[in-house]
Amino acid sequence: MAEIDPEALLPNDHVKQAVLDGDITQLSRGAANRYAAAGDTFDLDGTAFEVTSVEERTLGDLTDADAKREGSPSLEAYKQRMERVHPGDFEWDGTSEIVTYRFEAAE
């Protein structure tokens, strides 16, 4: 377990604020890089968070529940958001490998 830089895991200020607000408790990233391990911690504006799980998956494994943990109201809305924030270089492919990171505020 290590202290990680939140800049590595959380891609922008909007996501960081949503994590602080409790709207995002999970983030899926491309499998090419590993950003954290279960048990790692990070600090956002004085609030400590712990990575509770890290799971290798595919985009096709994601569910509505995953989308909600990632800050979207549904899987369809999540798909549309991913295509919007990755213009030109992203196409939803259910076989694409990802790593899903779950985290929560540490007690």
Phi, psi dihedral angles at 58 (to 5 degrees): -125, 160
Phi/psi for 20 (5° steps) reads -60, -35
Q: Report pLDDT for 65.
A: 98
Residues of 69-93 as b/e, b for ≥16 C-beta within 10 angstroms? bbbbeebeebeeebeeeeeeeeeee
CB 30 within 8 A of CB 66: no
Run means of pLDDT, 10 residues per run, the chain, 107 residues: 93 95 96 94 96 97 97 96 83 93 93
- Full-model pTM: 0.93
pLDDT at 3 (0 to 100): 95
Q: Which amino acid is present at 27?
A: L
